[in-house]
């Protein structure tokens, strides 16, 4: 698997700057063409998928328990917003930091093993979070936390209407994408790729691979938490859906569809899946079948995922 | 002069007619049916609910206040976030005036919140939780066919009165199961019965052997199933393998539908008590409606599907009575109406949004007593509306007038 990035630490690539600028303009204009709540949800899942891809695509670690970070953050942010009345940005920050802490614990346990064992440990740990969410009082069991309020940002800026909350979420989205971009295009990101290609070689070069793996696990968990916390604000509900193992599976699907190991491919995959879920749901039972069929087609025809295939075909080597 | 007056009156009357139509947003009434189309609840609600809503619109005549009635539907996949986002989109961009069915509790609660924020009528039919008309009630939210209180109360009271005075609970170990167990326990004890024990099983469970052995050993006359969906089905199947009913104990399902009985078969389900809001074989009207429905869908309707029919029909009547589709006015009209249709006669809508109607305690027939497919239930007792549903003052809902 070739990863088409040339990391020049500390400096920006001109093409990347152009792409970023174009994306920013598109982000600003989109809510006037497409329903903002849908866009916000898509952005949350895009952050989640890109965060997940830091592990799978750039470090070669398949976590099957990322719903734990996404879902617990969604609960914590919903609780902070409705029960404590914290402002929007503090609630999301609280959820993000909690997810990072949870990630540190999960990571410290899971990175001791590789491959399928790593995946199973993360799955087991995330199932513990699922059962905690099902049983705990503050999560409301299977009813979830309902009627989450969109509290003002910094206690000042009102975000109750869809357009203003869209721009708030867009800022978070840009920040998260930039964070992912910086992590990937840094010496740290280079070491991660070295670990992915051959952990023993990275070790023999003198890198403490466990420390690197733990740090990237925590970053990934924190960003997943950012996504989950923001999503609770957007849809104003935190429910069991976000902590189920199916959600962990969905993010794998998004990443593979979009392009594992490309910086923004998973975001494309996430947008695709959310779009399918949203626009096909008036056709009844077709949603799951179609998503399954699309997945099979993608895996058979373009293994590198949508963006990965585009990159491989048109240029940037 | 008199002639002029009457002419003027006629002119005013003509002039006010388009005004009535203008009171409808976008000059149409749009109804959204949101349900589970493909997963666990697809049989008891699903496409059948959409067909039921179509039947209601057809029976109403296709137009209200001179404007067309449009129907949209979507699969919420039992996910509250998908449902809430779709509901917002429907209301913000598609001009949907009323949403109905909403078959999972978390989904219904989330959409009812959206309805409160956006001032739209939400008529929940498929979901069970009493919170919808309790602590989470809203002034434009309605709960139509049944709720957990009515099921717990109906089954608890009626079974004890029929001699089932000692109970053992098989409880799903999460909030829903716990609250159902405690609700029914209170009712059983209030009616002079005793609760001899309970066992908690994880959610979901496939192997009920050890739990059923405890239930059998307890010697209780009734084993209450404080769980739902596949847990209930699995428990009943295994209870039948253990010969629990032959051993003299009866099962009481607290959240069950006729489709569950259909899936289980009479051999496994015979003797089971449950409470339902409607059964197709009650009278000539219900049989005729069910036959019409069966022609389109291929099976008999559940109480949820006929509930959707009743909710949509009542909504349209209320829009006509209020002369507008503005949610507050329609809600007031609904609360002052008497609900008379194939679902119920003399149904009343309480201030908290609860539609109170007669419920039925039923027992599943023995295979030899059934005349064939869908002839599954015997009505043991009709539970009058006032007894079946909780007094609004006791629900914890702040809207009481």
Q: What pLDDT digit, counting tens, does each position of A199-248 carry?
A: 999 999 999 999 999 999 999 999 999 999 999 999 999 999 999 999 99
Q: Are A65 and A58 in contact, with CB atoms under 8 Å apart?
A: no
CB–CB contact A38 B85 (8 Å): yes
CB–CB contact A284 B75 (8 Å): yes
Three-state DSSP state, B349: strand
State which residue of chain A sits closest to B73, comparing Cα positions: A282
Chain B residues close to A240, C-beta within 8 Å: 106
Buried residues in A37-66 as b, exposed as e (16+ CB within 10 A): bbbbbbbbbbbbbbbbbbbbbbbbbbbbbb
Average pLDDT, chain A: 89
Is the predicted pLDDT of residue A149 greater than 70, yes or no? yes
CB–CB contact A285 B42 (8 Å): yes
Report the C-alpha gap between A140 and B135 in whole angstroms. 13
- The upper half-sphere exposure of residue B324, i.e. CA atoms within 13 Å in the direction of its Cβ, equals 13
**Interface probe, candidates B35, B82, B117, B124, chain A, greatest A C-beta count within 10 A:** B82
B8-146+283-357: CATH class: alpha beta
State which residue of chain B sits closest to A38, comparing Cα positions: B85
Evaluate the CA torsion angle A96, A100, A105, A107 in order and state its sign: positive
Q: Are strands B273-276 and B359-364 parallel, antiparallel or unpaired?
A: antiparallel
pLDDT value of position B4: 56
Report the C-alpha gap between A301 and A307 in whole angstroms. 13
Report the C-alpha gap between B333 and B351 in whole angstroms. 11
Closest by Cα among A171, A228, A226, A216 to A191: A216
DSSP secondary structure, B262-297, as one string: HHH-HHHHTT-EEEES--TTSSHHHHHHHHHHHHHH
| Higher pLDDT among residues B175 and A264, named by residue | A264
pLDDT value of position A12: 62
Of A37, A142, A283, which is closest to B174 when you measure between CB atoms?
A142
The Cβ of residue B285 has, within 10 Å, a number of other Cβ atoms equal to 12
DSSP secondary structure, B100-122, as one string: EE--SHHHHHHHHHHHHHHT-EE
Report the C-alpha gap between A88 and A80 in whole angstroms. 9
Task: Provide the terminal-to-terminal Cα distance of chain A, rounded to the nearest Å.
Answer: 12
pLDDT value of position B302: 95
pLDDT value of position B191: 92
CB–CB contact A141 B174 (8 Å): yes
Is the predicted pLDDT of residue A5 greater than 50, yes or no? no
pLDDT value of position B50: 96
pLDDT per position as a tens digit, A37-60: 999 999 999 999 999 999 999 999
Chain A residues close to B204, C-beta within 8 Å: none
pLDDT above 70 covers what percent of chain A?
94
Checking B337-344 for CB contacts under 8 A at 24+ apart, the result is B339/B310, B339/B314, B341/B309, B341/B310, B341/B313, B341/B314, B342/B285, B342/B286, B342/B289, B342/B306, B342/B309, B342/B310, B343/B145, B343/B277, B343/B278, B343/B306, B343/B307, B343/B309, B343/B310, B344/B278, B344/B310
Report the C-alpha gap between A305 and A24 in whole angstroms. 24
CB–CB contact B203 A134 (8 Å): yes
pLDDT value of position A316: 56
| Same fold across B8-146+283-357 and B149-276+359-388 | yes
- Backbone dihedral angles phi then psi of residue A247, each to the nearest 5 degrees: -65, -40
pLDDT-flagged residues of chain B (< 50): 1, 11-21
pLDDT per position as a tens digit, B189-200: 999 999 999 999
Structure tokens at B396: 């914890």
pLDDT value of position B230: 85
The Cβ of residue A114 has, within 10 Å, a number of other Cβ atoms equal to 14
Structure tokens at A35: 């329903």
Q: Are A276 and A193 in contact, with CB atoms under 8 Å apart?
A: no
Structure tokens at A196: 């992915």
Structure tokens at A41: 């949800």
Buried residues in A2-21 as b, exposed as e (16+ CB within 10 A): ebebebeeeeeeeeeeeebe
- The sheet with strand B347-349 has its strands ordered as B338-339, B347-349, B355-356
Q: What angle do CA A35, B92, B85 make, to 5 degrees?
A: 65
Q: Helix-strand-coil percent breakdown of chain B, rounded to 5?
A: 45, 20, 35
Chain A residues close to B131, C-beta within 8 Å: 143
Write down how long chain A is. 317
Of B77, B136, B176, which is closest to A281 when you measure between CB atoms?
B77
Give the list of residues 6+ apart from residue B39 with CB closer than 8 angstroms, or none: B77, B78
Q: What angle do CA B282, B285, B287 make, to 5 degrees?
A: 60
**Interface probe, candidates B102, B110, B117, chain A, greatest A C-beta count within 10 A:** B110
How many Cβ pairs within 8 Å bridge chains A and B? 107
User: Domain map of chain B by residue range?
Assistant: 8-146+283-357, 149-276+359-388
B149-276+359-388: CATH class: alpha beta
Mean pLDDT of A171-175: 95
Residue B195: C-alpha distances to residues B148, B158, B167, B198, B223 (Å): 19, 15, 5, 8, 10
pLDDT value of position B3: 52
Closest by Cα among B93, B399, B225, B292 to A278: B93
Q: What does the longest C-alpha to C-alpha distance in chain B come to?
A: 91
- Backbone dihedral angles phi then psi of residue B32, each to the nearest 5 degrees: -110, 125
Chain A residues close to B147, C-beta within 8 Å: none
Q: Write down the number of H helices and E strands in chain B.
A: 14, 16
pLDDT per position as a tens digit, B135-160: 899 999 999 999 999 999 989 998 99
CB–CB contact A143 B175 (8 Å): yes
pLDDT value of position B401: 63
pLDDT value of position A16: 78
Q: Are B361 and B159 in contact, with CB atoms under 8 Å apart?
A: yes
């Amino acid at each position: 698997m070739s990863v088409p990035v040339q990391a020049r630490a500390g400096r920006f690539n001109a093409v990347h700057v152009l792409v970023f600028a174009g994306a920013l303009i598109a982000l600003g204009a989109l809510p006037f063409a497409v329903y903002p709540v849908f866009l916000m949800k898509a952005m949350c899942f895009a952050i989640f998928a890109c965060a997940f891809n830091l592990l799978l695509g750039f470090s070669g670690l398949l976590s099957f328990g990322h719903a734990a970070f996404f879902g617990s953050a969604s609960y914590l942010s919903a609780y902070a917003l409705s029960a404590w009345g914290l402002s929007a940005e503090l609630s999301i920050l609280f959820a993000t930091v909690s997810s990072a802490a949870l990630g540190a614990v999960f990571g410290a346990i899971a990175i001791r093993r590789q491959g399928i064992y790593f995946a199973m440990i993360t799955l087991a740990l995330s199932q513990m979070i699922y059962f905690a969410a099902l049983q705990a009082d503050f999560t409301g069991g299977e009813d979830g936390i309902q009627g989450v309020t969109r509290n003002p940002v910094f206690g000042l800026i009102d975000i109750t209407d869809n357009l203003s909350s869209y721009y708030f979420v867009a800022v978070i989205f840009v920040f998260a994408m930039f964070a992912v971009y910086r992590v990937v295009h840094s010496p740290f990101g280079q070491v991660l790729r070295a670990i992915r290609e051959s952990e023993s070689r990275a070790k023999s070069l003198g890198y403490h691979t466990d420390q690197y793996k733990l740090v990237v696990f925590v970053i990934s968990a924190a960003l997943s938490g950012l996504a989950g916390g923001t999503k609770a604000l957007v849809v104003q509900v935190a429910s069991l859906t976000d902590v189920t193992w199916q959600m962990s599976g969905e993010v794998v699907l998004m990443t593979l569809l979009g392009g594992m190991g490309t910086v923004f491919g998973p975001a494309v995959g996430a947008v695709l899946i959310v779009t399918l879920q949203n626009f096909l749901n008036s056709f009844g039972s077709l949603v799951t079948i179609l998503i399954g069929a699309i997945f099979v087609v993608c895996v058979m025809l373009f293994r590198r995922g949508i963006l990965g295939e585009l990159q491989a075909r048109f240029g940037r080597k | 002069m008199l002639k002029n007056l009457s002419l003027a009156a006629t002119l005013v009357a003509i002039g006010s007619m388009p005004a009535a139509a203008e009171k409808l947003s976008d000059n149409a009434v749009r109804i959204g049916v949101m349900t589970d189309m493909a997963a666990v609840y697809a049989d008891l609600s699903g496409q059948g609910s959409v067909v039921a809503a179509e039947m209601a619109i057809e029976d109403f005549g296709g137009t209200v206040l001179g404007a067309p009635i449009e129907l949209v539907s979507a699969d919420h996949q039992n996910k509250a976030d998908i449902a809430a986002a779709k509901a917002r989109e429907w209301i913000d961009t598609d001009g949907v005036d009323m949403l109905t069915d909403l078959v999972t509790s978390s989904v219904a609660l989330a959409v009812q919140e959206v309805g409160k924020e956006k001032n739209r009528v939400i008529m929940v039919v498929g979901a069970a939780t009493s919170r919808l008309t309790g602590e989470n009630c809203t002034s434009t939210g309605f709960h139509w066919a049944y709720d957990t209180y009515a099921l717990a109360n109906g089954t608890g009271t009626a079974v004890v009165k029929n001699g089932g005075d000692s109970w053992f609970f098989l409880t799903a170990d999460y909030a829903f199961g716990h609250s159902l167990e405690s609700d029914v326990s209170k009712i059983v004890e209030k009616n002079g019965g005793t609760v001899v024990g309970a066992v908690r099983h994880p959610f979901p469970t496939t192997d009920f052997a050890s739990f059923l052995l405890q239930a059998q050993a307890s010697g209780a006359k009734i084993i209450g199933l404080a769980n739902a969906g596949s847990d209930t089905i699995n428990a009943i199947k295994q209870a039948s393998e253990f010969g629990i009913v032959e051993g003299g104990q009866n099962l009481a399902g607290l959240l069950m539908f006729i489709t569950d009985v259909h899936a289980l078969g009479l051999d496994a389900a015979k003797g089971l008590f449950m409470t339902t809001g409607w059964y197709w074989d009650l009278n000539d009207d219900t049989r005729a409606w069910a036959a019409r429905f069966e022609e389109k869908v291929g099976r008999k309707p559940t109480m949820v599907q006929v509930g959707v029919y009743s909710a949509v029909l009542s909504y349209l009547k209320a829009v006509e009575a209020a002369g507008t589709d503005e949610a507050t006015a329609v809600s007031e009209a609904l609360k002052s109406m008497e609900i008379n249709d194939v679902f119920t006669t003399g149904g009343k809508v309480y201030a908290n949004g609860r539609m109170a109607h007669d419920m039925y305690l039923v027992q599943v027939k023995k295979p030899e007593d059934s005349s064939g497919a869908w002839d599954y239930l015997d009505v043991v007792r009709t539970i009058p509306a006032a007894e079946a549903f909780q007094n609004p003052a006791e629900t914890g809902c702040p809207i009481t007038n």
